[in-house]
Amino acid sequence: MTRSSMSRRRLLAHGGSAVAGLSVLRVAGPTSAFRRQSGDEVIPWLDVPAENPVPEVIVRQLDWERLDSWVTPPDQFFVIKHYNEPALTEQDWRLEISGLVTQPMTLTLADLKARTRQEVSYTMECSGNSGPPFFTGGVGNATWAGTPLAPLLEEAGVLEEGIEVVFWGADAGEQTWREEITVTEQFARSMSLADAMGTDHLLAWEMNGEDLPSLHGYPLRLITPGWYGVANVKWLTRIEVIDRRYQGHFMARDYVTIREEERDGETVWTFTSVTHDRLKSAPARVTRTDDRYRVMGAAWGAPIASVDVRIDDGPWRPATLTEGEGEAHSWVFWSFDWDAPATGEHTVTSRATDTDGNVQPAPDDPFLAGKATFWESNGHITRRVGIA
């Protein structure tokens, strides 16, 4: 999320053609309460997100008021791009599996597609979403298809001393250390070997039934259900096993949560790399049909059991889950009938509870309030709306 100076090696972007016109919708559930019905009027939110000062990094955001599909079409799916957009072709592209393995591999896309195919429906959120005031639409849901990562690592034969798996992207940009050393660093993220061997991770070439669009990592990206967006390395070219922790920019400097905590009455500051998703929800929009008002929204980050809505400072009241219930890694959509709101300005807040009974925290929860950085901001989201 930090603004990064673009690399000299910046390559020409693919243009928009690869992302245009893809709108394969998976029909989920019997009805879609979300789909706009004729006669529905969207009551626009009064709080409008601040202007995006980093459009080359936050390239696209979800437009909550327009959200009407449980599977997000690629042209509405948010895009985060820290460096350049590599122009990769299937012909020249290879995936290398190297480092501390007995059987290093170089794979073509065809080699990967010949392996076991696995699909996952996964809601990806950037851990910076709802941190800064200009970043409110960093979440989307897609069906991803590819081949599982773990069996490939097993075939490569990780050596005894291998403890960490690094995923390298083809994009790169300048990073400066201590204002002394400037290097062109490739985008990379890592996981412990144990995390990387999880059964849900995919090497994915497909998003909603189509080739990955260029901006989403064509031809191959890592998909890590249950993790924040940053772990899902796009334009993946190399998987490397090493014998120590990897400390690249996006592990050790950026996407690091700095938090003030109490230890036996003393204040300590902790520094942790962003990893797993956190339980979260958001109101998407308020609609009016004749004189009936309804709030709709989404909840994600853990298997969702229920969602409550609070109007102004009133009591929490249950919403109805309308789509996606029972999914392991995808958002649920919810709906709340707002009876006879009084004329004037109101606030609308949502709160999710997961199937383990964990409740989405309020923004002033000490765990969130103690954060100095904006990553992992999963507090309740409050929107403002005016009823005429």
Near ligand MTE by CB under 6 A: residue from 78, 205, 331, 338: 78
Q: How far is the CB of 166 from ligand MTE (least distance, A)?
A: 12
Neighbouring residues of 179: CB distance < 8 A, sequence distance ≥ 6 = none
* Amino acid letter for position 212: L
Name the residue among 114, 119, 15 with its Cα closest to residue 71.
Answer: 119
Backbone angles phi, psi at 66, to 5 degrees: -95, -10
Report the half-sphere exposure of 67 (CA within 13 A, side-chain side). Answer: 29
Closest by CA to 378, choosing from 386, 388, 358, is 358
Nearer to ligand MTE, 76 or 347 (CB): 76
Count, residues in the chain: 388
Selected from 201, 216, 249, 259, the binder of ligand MTE by CB under 6 A is: 216
| Residue nearer to ligand MTE on the CB measure, 82 or 371 | 82
Nearest to ligand MTE of 279, 295 (CB atom): 279
Site size with ligand MTE, rule: CB under 6 A:
19
The answer for residues whose C-beta is within 8 angstroms of residue 150's C-beta and 6 or more apart is 196, 197, 198, 199, 201
Q: Provide, rounded to whole angstroms, the least separation between the CB of residue 249 and Mo ion.
A: 13
Q: Is 232 in the site for ligand MTE (CB under 6 A)?
A: yes
Tell me: does residue 77 bind ligand MTE (CB under 6 A).
yes
- Residue 196 in the binding site for ligand MTE (CB under 6 A): no
CB of 126 or CB of 286, closer to Mo ion: 126
Residues 101-130 that bind ligand MTE (CB under 6 A): 124, 126
Q: Which residues, in sequence order, are CB contacts of 136 under 8 Å at separation 6+? A: 49, 61, 64, 129, 130
93 makes contact with ligand MTE (CB under 6 A): no
Minimal distance, residue 82 CB to Mo ion, in Å: 8
Cβ proximity to ligand MTE, 83 vs 334, nearer residue: 83
Interface residues for Mo ion in 53-82 (CB under 5 A)? Answer: 80
What beta strand segments (E) does 32-161 contain? 40-43, 58-60, 79-80, 95-99, 105-107, 118-125, 139-148
Least Å distance, CB 227 to ligand MTE, is 10
Among 81, 249, 280, 346, binds ligand MTE (CB under 6 A): 81
79 binds, among Mo ion, ligand MTE, none (CB under 5 to 8 A by kind): ligand MTE
What is the CB-side half-sphere exposure of residue 164 using CA atoms within 13 A?
Answer: 14
Distance of CA 10 to the CA centre of its chain: 25
Residues interacting with Mo ion, by CB under 5 A? 80, 126, 229-230
Contact residues for ligand MTE, defined by CB under 6 A? 77-83, 124, 126, 169, 171, 187, 216, 229-230, 232-235
